[in-house]
Amino acid sequence: MSVFSGNSERESESLKAHKGSGESLRAMPFFNRYPKGVLWVFPLLLVLGFLFLITSGYQGLKQLNQLAQKREAITRSNQEMNRTNETMYREIIRLRTDPVYLEECARKEFGLVKADEIIFFLEEAEPKEKVR
């Protein structure tokens, strides 16, 4: 009968061979010492431990959510800047190619006038004082 229940016949023979030869259990290869079902427990516990540390250790999940929100805000800002850049690019192209638009902008921003235009300056009347 085997020392470990559930061992295969090959493992049982390996244990008997080692016992009969006078070698200790320590001299056996690692995979022959333990039943096959036990070897997957350690990696599973290791993975579960890492998952626990990621989600709860040092506010991991909270920080992950904050970083995701920050990334979304940066993405929205980036999209807004791209739209602004596109609008400015179109205006530059229009200023370079459309003389009517260029003249309109010069009149509006710099107060320029044509040579044959007459400018009138109207003074506003001062408000009259009320008589008591």
CB 90 within 8 A of CB 84: no
Evaluate if residue 21 carries a pLDDT over 60. Answer: no
* Per-residue pLDDT tens over the stretch 39-66: 778 888 899 988 887 777 667 677 888 9
CB 2 within 8 A of CB 15: yes
User: What CA–CA distance (Å, rounded) separates 87 from 82?
Assistant: 9
Evaluate if residue 4 carries a pLDDT over 80. Answer: no
CB atoms under 10 Å from CB of 1, counted, come to 5
- The token pair that represents 49 in the structure block: 């431990």
Q: Looking at residue 28, what DSSP letter applies? A: S
* Residue with the larger pLDDT of the pair 29 and 96: 96
Domain ranges of the chain: 1-37
